Amino acid sequence: DEVLSEDNIGECDALLIAINPKDTVEFLNSHAQMISRKTLVIDCCGTKRTVCAEGSRLAEKYGFTFVGGHPMAGTHKSGFSNSSGDMFIGAPMVLVPPVFDDIQLLDRVKKVLDPLGFGFLHVMTAEKHDSVVAFTSQLAHVVSNAYIKSPTAREHKGASAGSYKDLTRVAWLDPGMWADLFICNRDNLLRELDTIIASLGQYRDALEAEDFPALRELLREGKKAKEEVDGP
């Protein structure tokens, strides 16, 4: 119940670091030697490979325990003034432990996170996390941000419904934070961007050719994919 400082950082049972990936790595490097061997350190970054590699390296060197974390919750608004006490209730929390068979460690993490009310703790590798998040979150933010740039956006008043609202909700974002996250996960996000650009090109070409059966088939495939992943 005090402000964290270099004087008391060595007394923490748990340390949750909720800043950008670059800053997290910097913070860990400059503070690792002050962290006690009994401290559990969990980061909250949206990409995991870089941070977990550095966290694990420093944990091994200085003796504390490091577990990667990504609380998958939040709004399009950022900063402390937009935080809320119930933001994580029911939300998924991804955990990237240094080993996957240490039940005691996972139990310790669970106890620390318990008051936040996460709906489910998902344990996965940093590689898997970054691959999946490039699709579920990063691509969503790029597409939404690109979507709203159409000049037609300025004329739409009065002729839009739920689909417009959904597609453009996360267009309003923190540019610096997301640019940082994107570059941290460059390979995966490039793969997803190339995939959707190629896919959109297929609809575009079928439409240009006025090829009704091809267009219907492309839409049918997407409907089927959605149904297989999330149900009808």
Positions in 10-69 near a second copy (CB under 8 A): none
- 135 is a site residue for a second copy (CB under 8 A): yes
For the CB of residue 203, give the shortest distance to a second copy in the complex, in Å: 5
Question: 3 or 165, CB closer to a second copy?
Answer: 165
- 131 is a site residue for a second copy (CB under 8 A): yes
Contact in structure between 140 and 170 (CB atoms under 8 Å): yes
The Cα 151–Cα 62 span in angstroms is: 54
- 81 is a site residue for a second copy (CB under 8 A): no
Question: 85 or 151, CB closer to a second copy?
Answer: 151
The Cα 59–Cα 154 span in angstroms is: 51
Residue from 74, 112, 116, 125 binding a second copy (CB under 8 A): 74
For the CB of residue 19, give the shortest distance to a second copy in the complex, in Å: 17
- 207 is a site residue for a second copy (CB under 8 A): yes
Enumerate residues 6+ apart whose C-beta is below 8 A from 226.
none
Residue from 40, 41, 124, 126 binding a second copy (CB under 8 A): 124
Q: Is the dihedral of CA 187, 191, 197, 198 positive or negative?
A: positive
Count interface residues toward a second copy (CB under 8 A). 94
- Among 122, 44, 53, smallest CA distance to 87 is for 44
Q: Quote the DSSP letter at residue 79.
A: S
Query: Helical H runs in the chain?
Result: 21-31, 49-62, 103-113, 126-133, 139-147, 162-168, 175-184, 186-208, 212-230
Question: 31 or 97, CB closer to a second copy?
Answer: 97
- Which stretch, 9-17, 28-36, 88-96, 99-107, contacts a second copy (CB under 8 A)? 88-96
Task: Give CA separation, 18 vs 68, 127, 130, 232, in Å.
Answer: 11, 20, 17, 36
Q: Residues 141 to 160: which contact a second copy by CB under 8 A?
A: 141-156, 158-160
Q: Residues 162 to 201: which contact a second copy by CB under 8 A?
A: 162-164, 166-173, 175-176, 178-180, 182-183, 186, 189-190, 192-197, 199-201
For the CB of residue 219, give the shortest distance to a second copy in the complex, in Å: 4
